[in-house]
């Protein structure tokens, strides 16, 4: 009994080899192209704590030094470096602002393209730091640095979300209190999520390097 | 009476020479003040205090007529939290130095009586536990990281 089915023909060996080679090449190419998206861990040499999933920051309402509202919407489309302090701070705040001024000077051009970075100094001492005073203080370091402050409860909404602590020391003589405060620099991504924490002591080169790495990694 | 006068004179000379001795053994190097924003009510001074003598010397205060209040402070950063500790006094061991620098010990200068610009020279005075006064001059320098 004869079959109607055409006789089966096996593929020539060279075709099979070429096909397999193309499949392997395709898989390798896909892995190469997609790897940044699939990478499960950030660059190993970061001098910062990276938050893989990010942490949304919401619900605070402050004023910038031009007395314009500053809220979470101002994080959108920018990389934001947040630092918390006060203008009567003799050592830590001026030094950190100088470090960030140097970071700005040393950032490679591609790290300043959109989404560009912004530095926001948050005064936790609104009783002494009016927006006007804050403006003169912050822009002394760089004209494009931003200063914000506001009511204590609004400042607390922000500090609580980013894990920053602060407190006022006793002032028994009435000569002026000092403020203890976290000295971390918080990096917020262009989608408004807390993305990394730089811990003191702050070094210019470490921040520049880590920011560039984080930007590239986040961008994929 | 003659003996009493002589004794007093001798005691005075000894006291005077001990003051001179101690003062000569403390030197202040590289004192500087970073230029600050014009609205800053607080500034800082940094320097190195060197004790070239053979006995410890205790600094109990620093004064400066150009500021309303002057204190020795130390920035302490623990678990990412920075705070300032007021130093009532500071003992500098023999043949050693106490370095005041950013992120560590600093002279906190509060309530400036006038504004300062780069190049200004500010007179300050160290006071020791023996009430010896050691004057020194700090120079106002640009607020850049390279001036430490």
Q: B103: which chain A residues are within 8 Å (Cβ-Cβ)?
A: 91-92, 95, 200-201
Interface test with B, best of A49, A85, A88, A90 (most B CBs within 10 A): A90
Write down how long chain A is. 220
Measured between CA atoms, the residue of chain B closest to residue A86 is B40
Q: How far apart are CA A55 and CA A194, in angstroms?
A: 5
Q: Stretch B58-80: mean pLDDT, rounded? A: 94
φ/ψ bin of B76: left (φ > 0), alpha (ψ from -120 to 50), beta (otherwise): beta
Compute CA A25 distance to the chain's CA centroid, rounded to the nearest angstrom: 36
B23 burial (CB, 10 Å; 0-12 / 13-18 / 19+) is middle
Cβ-based neighbours of A102, under 8 Å, separated by 6 or more:
A204, B145
Q: Between chains, do B84 and A137 touch, taking CB under 8 Å as contact?
A: no
Q: What is the pLDDT of residue A116?
A: 95
Nearest to A91 among B38, B80, B102 (CB): B102
Choose the closest CB to A178 out of B84, B103, B143.
Answer: B84
Mutate to test the interface with A, among B71, B72, B82, B146 (most CBs of A within 10 A): B82
By mean pLDDT, which of A72-76, A215-219, B16-20, B115-119 is the weakest? B16-20
A87 touches chain B (CB under 8 A): yes
Per-residue model confidence (pLDDT) at position A8:
55
Residue A183 contacts B where some CB pair is shorter than 8 Å: yes
pLDDT at A25: 66
Output the pLDDT for position B7. 56
Check CB contact of B82 with chain A, cutoff 8 Å: yes
**Mean pLDDT for the stretch of residues A121-150:** 97
Question: Which is nearest to A70 in space by CA: A80, A60, A79?
Answer: A60
Output the six-digit token pair for A2: 């004869």
Cβ atoms of B123 and B65 closer than 8 Å: yes
Tell me the mean pLDDT in the region A191-203. Answer: 95
Does residue A39 surpass a pLDDT of 60? no
B69 to A176: CB separation less than 8 angstroms, yes or no: yes
Q: Is the pLDDT of residue B14 over 70?
A: no
Looking at residue A87, what DSSP letter applies? T
Interface residue B44 vs chain A (CB under 8 A): yes
One-character DSSP codes across A176-217: ---EEEE--EEEE-TTSEEEEEEPSSP-HHHHHHHHHHHHHH
> Alpha-carbon torsion A211, A213, A218, A219, what sign?
positive
3-class DSSP assignment, residue A34 = helix
Q: Would you place residue B13 in the very low, low, confident or very high pLDDT band (cuts 50, 70, 90)?
A: very low
CB-based contact A88:A178 (threshold 8 Å): yes
Output B65 or A37, whichever has higher pLDDT: B65
Q: What is the pLDDT of residue B130?
A: 92
pLDDT at A40: 65
pLDDT-derived band of residue A104, with 50, 70 and 90 as boundaries? very high
Task: Tell me the nearest-neighbour CA distance from A184 into chain B, angstroms.
Answer: 6
Give the pLDDT band of residue B148 (cuts 50, 70, 90). Answer: low
Say what the pLDDT of residue B2 is: 53
Q: What's the rounded Cα separation, in Å, for the pair A170 and B18?
A: 39
User: Which member of A89, A98, A137 has the closest CB to residue B39?
Assistant: A137
Do the Cβ atoms of B112 and B1 come closer than 8 Å?
A: no
Which helix (H) or strand (E) element contains residue B4? helix B2-25
Whole-angstrom distance, CA of residue A66 vs CA of residue A135: 8
DSSP-derived letter for residue A134 is H
| Count of other CB atoms within 10 angstroms of residue A112 | 11
């Amino acid at each position: 009994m004869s079959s109607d089915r055409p006789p089966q023909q096996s593929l020539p060996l060279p075709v099979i080899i070429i096909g397999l080679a193309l499949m392997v090449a395709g898989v390798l190419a896909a892995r190469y192209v997609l790897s940044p998206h699939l990478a499960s861990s950030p660059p190993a040499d970061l001098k910062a704590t990276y938050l893989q999933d990010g942490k949304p920051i919401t619900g605070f309402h402050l004023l910038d030094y031009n007395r314009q509202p500053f809220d979470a919407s101002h994080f959108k489309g920018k990389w934001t470096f947040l630092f918390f302090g006060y203008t009567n701070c003799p050592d830590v705040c001026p030094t950190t602002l100088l470090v960030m001024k140097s970071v700005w000077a040393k950032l490679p051009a591609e790290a300043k393209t959109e989404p560009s970075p912004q530095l926001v100094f948050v005064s936790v001492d609104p009783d002494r730091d009016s927006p006007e005073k804050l403006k003169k203080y912050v822009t002394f370091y760089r004209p494009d640095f931003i200063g914000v402050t506001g009511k204590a409860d609004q400042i607390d909404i922000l500090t609580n979300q980013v894990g920053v602590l602060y407190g006022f020391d006793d002032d028994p003589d009435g000569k002026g209190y000092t403020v203890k405060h976290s000295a971390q620099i918080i990096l917020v991504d262009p989608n408004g999520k807390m993305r990394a924490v730089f811990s003191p002591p702050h070094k210019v080169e470490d921040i520049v390097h880590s920011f560039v790495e984080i930007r590239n990694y986040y961008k994929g | 009476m003659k003996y009493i006068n002589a004794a007093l004179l001798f005691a005075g000379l000894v006291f005077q020479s001990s003051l001179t001795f101690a003062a000569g053994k403390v030197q202040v190097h590289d004192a500087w003040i970073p230029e600050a924003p014009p609205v800053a009510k607080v500034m800082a001074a940094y320097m190195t205090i060197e004790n070239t003598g053979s006995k410890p010397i205790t600094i109990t205060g620093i004064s400066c007529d150009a500021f309303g209040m002057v204190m020795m402070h130390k920035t302490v950063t623990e678990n990412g939290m920075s705070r300032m500790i007021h130093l009532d006094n500071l003992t500098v061991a023999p043949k050693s130095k106490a370095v005041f620098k950013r992120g560590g010990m600093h002279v906190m200068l509060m309530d400036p009586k006038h504004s300062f610009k780069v190049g200004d020279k500010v007179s300050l005075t160290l006071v020791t536990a023996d009430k010896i006064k050691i004057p020194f001059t700090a120079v106002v320098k640009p607020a850049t990281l390279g001036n430490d």
